[in-house]
Amino acid sequence: MQRLIRHGLMFGNLFHVASPALAQRYNRALNHLTGKTTKLTDFHIDISGYSPEVGDELQDHLYLNHAGVNRQFILLSVEQRHCPLLNTKFSTSRGILRQFIDANEAQLFALTARDAVAGELVNSVYDISTPQRLFDIRRVEVEADTVGGTVRDAEKLGEMVARFKTEPDGWYDDVLIAQMIELAGKTGDVVRNPVRLRQMGFDQRNYWTAHFGGLYLFQDVEHPAVIAPAGAGHLGDLPIKYVFDGSQRNQIAKFFEYNDLVETIVEGRQDHAAAILKQKMDFILVDAVADQGVDLTGVTRADMRRLARRYHDMLPEEFHALGALVRWAENGGKWPRISSDHPAYFYTLRAADTKDAALVNMLLAELAPKDARQMFICHKELFYRTYAGWPEQKKAFVVDFLLAEYQVDKAGARETLFGHDAPMAEPVPRKPDPVPDMIARVGPWGAVRGR
């Protein structure tokens, strides 16, 4: 992991807490939220205020995310919006925090100039002891204020100002006037400069969670299902009819098709299809030969062709199928049929342009695990976990590739690979539905009970 950290591929782009004032504000917020404090005065935090160094010190890396649900956050600067989210438990959390910061940028800039802002991503579930509890999560609300309660006091002062202006005896109420003066000393002039954070809520129906081995819940699609790549045997009875594990490739392929969630790389990126497929083949080749003592330092395209010829007999089906697709894309000829039960099938797909594109690309990264680049971009939690078990030669090759081909132009790489910037898509804030959705849906595999 040190190689990843050294090159900024892990714990990169974190916000540096280096001044005594910032460290003191962080400590006040930490104590306010958790009752804990840190002795550190120099550390790094992610978009939520979580710090790996503080987690090590407290021996608790969920100190802001107890039980992995209702994540708390500490904001010291609006610049945290550019940071990653570490120890992700729900795929929607970073997007929600980013949108909250963007929507309240001016207010947060003013508030964090004097104090830390502390808050929580709140839903109605306080523990996820069973998989069934995941289906109780429908919306996430953002609650936030400074440690000193500036927003709360500003609202109270606003109410007092309204009373002062409207009540007949307001001008003569010495107690009210004294209270207004006291609060104004804390909040400033709320009439000219109102201190107010926009209240935001987000639907959470389609998402990935790290709980129970990693699950993908697709509830807000025409044909709902849960995908459990690591296996579904431990989940028990869920309040959804269709649950597929990673071995049920045909069913997952049909799920994608029926919900119009994917497209082939060839149809989606005709101008770059061959190059994308060749790079996928490179990762598959390296995966096959990395433990053969092959030196992969500085390999060129010609070197990769020589390795493919030398180790042709030990290369997996995925390599040969993608090679046939490359030949079709470059030279025409017979279309290679790659069915959903073929090991290469999910390597040929990318998410279609839908609101769930980021989630779909994340799932595809798990279904096509030899494509290290897509895994790094779309599913970093899985990438770091998988990376730890790779041979040293593969680790070095992947890191060098990411530095040369991805880090130098992240936006350009995502545009080439995914077309519509899918991995960076954010959840959309919505107002609560006036009436719960009680419409029973019918899926392609039979009637699905309404939820």
pTM: 0.83
Q: What is the pLDDT of residues 40-93, one digit of tens each?
A: 999 999 999 999 999 999 999 999 999 899 999 999 999 999 999 999 999 999
Q: Are 238 and 132 in contact (CB under 8 A)?
A: yes
Provide the token pair at 54.
């503080």
H or E segment and range at residue 122: strand 117-122
Give the pLDDT of residue 451. Answer: 32
pLDDT of residue 7: 87
Phi, psi dihedrals of residue 214, rounded to the nearest 5° = 100, 110
For 167-189, letters b (16+ CB in 10 Å) and e give: eeeeeeeeebeeebeebbeebbe
Q: How confident is the model at residue 405 (pLDDT cuts 50, 70, 90)?
A: confident
**Ramachandran area for residue 188 (φ above 0: left; ψ -120 to 50: alpha; else beta):** left
Q: How far is CA 378 from each of CA 136, 364, 365, 412, rounded to the nearest angstrom?
A: 26, 9, 7, 15
Read off the amino acid at residue 83. C
Average pLDDT, the chain: 85
**What are the start-end ranges of the H helices in 217-371?**
249-258, 265-268, 273-289, 301-310, 317-331, 357-367
**Residue 202 predicted with pLDDT over 70:** yes
Phi, psi for 119 (deg, rounded to 5): -165, -165
The pLDDT, as a whole number, for residue 200 is 87
pLDDT at 219: 96
Residue scoring higher pLDDT (329 or 439): 329
- Rg of the chain in Å (alpha carbons): 26
CA distance readout (Å), 429 to 23, 170, 330, 400: 32, 40, 43, 38
Compute the Cα dihedral for 360, 364, 365, 366 and give only its sign.
Answer: positive
